[in-house]
């Protein structure tokens, strides 16, 4: 009997899935992947084969407000029809916030769900959407094993200095500290590096995960040492719609002087800032790079500047840097952003090979560059599938 593992990575306007099939001890093999996007605007389901061929596509032009749960049910029915002779054994979910308690992937039960609900205010853009499909799947398949894989877990190896704010001990003791996110992506990259360049993987590496959400992580000997995101996924780099690092005094000013409500401030910091806020044009890096609007150009400039500053900080946290890695939507696909970051990083010993960068080669630094530079596509879903299978195996053994 072949085993099916369903991976769900749910966001505010999209639910992404990947279905993996494995025979016994084999590594999980991707069977198909896809997403429902445009939720609440113009829902669109698309499913693709591993190499990109479209398997199914569906739109609901007459029902733009079709609910998350109705769309999710459509998706699950389609996925189940693809199983063939395989049996759906488990579902693995990306859960962005694991708080201070959870540093390992875990089998989901009612107690864990109740704990994860308490973390919703710490990740309002992600956590409610991560938890909704777990509940929806439980309704359809009450017996299915479901596993939570946390974006915060990989960073639990950070020294206390990297995890702490200089707040009174009492507040820190309540869990107000730096957690870091995109951990599933960083864990995947660390593993990939061990295969691509084992010597590099043993060294001091800064990984730039530049997607809609963006962060950077200092990884030494495969372990996270520090990262740019903090208590929430607002901290660090400016993102598509999020501010990144902000003087906490600005929040006080907005509250006390501008009379804004907490909800208004939350919307501003999470949804109206970053690339969209600075450019007034778009949160999409492709659009900004092609735009001739001065504010679009400035948004890209600020993004690159903040990456460059954080690079210095993360290199300092490791006492130096041996390699720089780019990943996620912008990191994998934008030679222009990579070039500009590398130019700023020449002082650290980064020498980019322009031709390799334009070509999108795996290594994009010169052979002589003291710091090597790499482009490594991330795969959070594969990491979740691996973790889910491990949890499944441990349940079988127990």
Ligand X SMILES: Nc1ncnc2c1ncn2[C@@H]1O[C@H](COP(=O)(O)OP(=O)(O)O)[C@@H](O)[C@H]1O
Binding-site residue numbers are: 9, 16, 94, 209-213, 284-286, 329-333, 380
- Binds ligand UVW by CB under 6 A, chosen from 105, 180, 213, 236: 213
Q: Which does 303 bind (CB under 5 to 8 A by kind): ligand UVW, Mg ion, ligand X, none?
A: none
- Binds ligand UVW by CB under 6 A, chosen from 88, 96, 341, 375: 96
Dihedral of CA atoms 165, 168, 169, 174 in degrees, nearest 10, equals -80
Looking only at residues 203 through 232 of this chain, which bind ligand X when binding is defined by CB under 6 A? Answer: 211-213
Task: Please give the helix or strand (H or E) that residue 31 lies within, else none.
Answer: strand 29-37
Comparing CB distances to ligand X, the nearer of 246 and 289 is: 289
Q: How far apart are CA 334 and CA 272, in angstroms?
A: 23
Q: Quick check: 188 and 9 in contact, CB under 8 A? A: no
Residue 147: beta bridge partners?
Answer: 92, 107
- Residue 105 interacts with ligand UVW (CB under 6 A): yes or no: no
Interface mask (CB under 6 A) for ligand X, residues 263-292, using x and -?
---------------------xxx--x---
Q: How far apart are CA 128 and CA 232, in angstroms?
A: 14
Closest CB 242 distance from ligand UVW, rounded Å: 8
Instruction: Using alpha carbons, select from 9, 373, 10, 67 the residue that is nearest to residue 193.
Output: 373
Q: Which of 3, 151, 353, 379 is catalytic?
A: 151
Q: Which does 284 bind (CB under 5 to 8 A by kind): ligand X, ligand UVW, Mg ion, none?
A: ligand X
Interface mask (CB under 5 A) for Mg ion, residues 193-212, using x and -?
------------------x-
- Residue 233 interacts with ligand UVW (CB under 6 A): yes or no: yes
Question: Residue 344 is encoded by which pair of tokens?
Answer: 């700023």
Q: How many residues bind ligand X (CB under 6 A)?
A: 13
Comparing CB distances to ligand UVW, the nearer of 39 and 145 is: 39
Comparing CB distances to ligand X, the nearer of 158 and 283 is: 283
Q: Which does 333 bind (CB under 5 to 8 A by kind): ligand UVW, ligand X, Mg ion, none?
A: ligand X
How far, CA to CA in Å, does 386 sit from each of 2, 93, 212? 16, 12, 24
* Interacting span for ligand X (CB under 6 A) from 154-162, 299-307, 322-330, 342-350: 322-330
- Residue 333 interacts with ligand X (CB under 6 A): yes or no: yes
Q: How far apart are CA 37 and CA 60, in angstroms?
A: 11
Dihedral of CA atoms 108, 114, 116, 119 in degrees, nearest 10, equals 180
- Residue 183 interacts with Mg ion (CB under 5 A): yes or no: no
- Binds ligand UVW by CB under 6 A, chosen from 28, 98, 133, 211: 211
Task: Please give the backbone phi and psi of residue 195, each rounded to the nearest 5 degrees, phi first.
Answer: -85, -40
Q: How far apart are CA 236 and CA 164, in angstroms?
A: 15
Q: Which does 339 bind (CB under 5 to 8 A by kind): ligand X, Mg ion, ligand UVW, none?
A: none
Looking only at residues 120 through 159 of this chain, which bind ligand UVW when binding is defined by CB under 6 A? Answer: 126, 151
Question: Residue 237 is encoded by which pair of tokens?
Answer: 């780099």
- Binds ligand X by CB under 6 A, chosen from 329, 342, 379, 387: 329
Looking only at residues 68 through 87 of this chain, which bind ligand X when binding is defined by CB under 6 A? Answer: none
Active site residue 379: no
Q: What SS3 string covers 281-345?
A: CCCCHHHHHHCCCHHHHHHHHHHHHHHHHHHHHHHHHHCCCCEEEEEHHHHHHCHHHHHHHHHHC
Report CA Rg, the chain: 21
Binding-site residues from annotation for ATP: 16, 209-213, 284-286, 329-333
Provide the strand spans (E) within 203-263: 204-210, 214-220, 223-227
Footprint of ligand UVW (CB under 6 A): 11, 96, 126, 151, 181-182, 211-213, 233
Q: Which residues are catalytic?
A: 151
Footprint of ligand X (CB under 6 A): 211-213, 240, 284-286, 289, 328-330, 333-334
Footprint of Mg ion (CB under 5 A): 211
């Amino acid at each position: 009997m072949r085993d099916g593992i369903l991976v769900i990575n749910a966001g505010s306007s999209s639910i992404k899935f990947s279905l993996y099939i494995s025979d016994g001890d084999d590594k999980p093999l991707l069977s198909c992947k896809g997403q429902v996007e445009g939720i609440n605007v113009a829902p669109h389901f698309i499913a693709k084969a591993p190499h990109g061929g479209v398997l199914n596509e569906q739109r609901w032009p007459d029902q733009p407000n079709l609910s998350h749960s109705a769309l999710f049910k459509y998706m699950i029915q389609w996925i189940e029809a693809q199983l063939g002779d395989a049996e759906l054994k488990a579902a693995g979910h990306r859960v962005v916030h694991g708080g201070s308690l959870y540093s390992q992937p875990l089998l989901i039960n009612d107690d864990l769900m109740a704990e994860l609900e308490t973390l919703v205010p710490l990740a309002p853009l992600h956590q409610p959407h991560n938890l909704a499909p777990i509940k929806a799947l439980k309704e359809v398949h009450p017996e299915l094993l479901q596993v939570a894989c946390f974006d915060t877990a990989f960073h639990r190896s950070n020294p206390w200095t990297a995890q702490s704010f200089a707040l009174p001990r009492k507040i820190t003791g309540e869990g107000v500290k730096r957690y870091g996110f995109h951990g599933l992506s960083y864990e995947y990259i660390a593993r990939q590096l061990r295969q691509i360049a084992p010597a590099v993987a043993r060294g001091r590496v800064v990984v730039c995960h530049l997607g809609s959400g963006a962060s950077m992580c200092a990884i030494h000997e495969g372990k996270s040492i520090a990262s740019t995101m903090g208590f929430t996924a607002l901290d660090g780099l400016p993102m598509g719609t999020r501010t990144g690092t902000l003087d906490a005094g600005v929040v006080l000013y907005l509250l006390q002087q501008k009379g804004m409500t907490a909800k208004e401030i939350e919307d501003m910091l999470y949804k109206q800032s970053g690339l969209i806020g600075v450019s007034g044009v778009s949160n999409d890096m492709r659009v900004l790079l092609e735009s001739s609007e001065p504010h679009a150009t400035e948004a890209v400039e600020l993004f690159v500047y903040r990456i460059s500053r954080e690079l210095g900080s993360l290199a300092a946290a490791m006492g130096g840097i041996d390699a720089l890695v780019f990943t996620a939507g912008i990191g994998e696909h934008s030679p222009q952003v990579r070039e500009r970051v590398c130019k700023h990083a020449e002082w650290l010993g980064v020498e980019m090979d322009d031709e390799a960068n334009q070509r999108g080669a795996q290594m994009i630094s010169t052979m002589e560059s003291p710091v090597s530079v790499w482009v490594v596509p991330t795969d959070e879903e594969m990491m979740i599938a691996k973790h889910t299978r491990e949890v499944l195996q441990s349940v079988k053994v127990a």
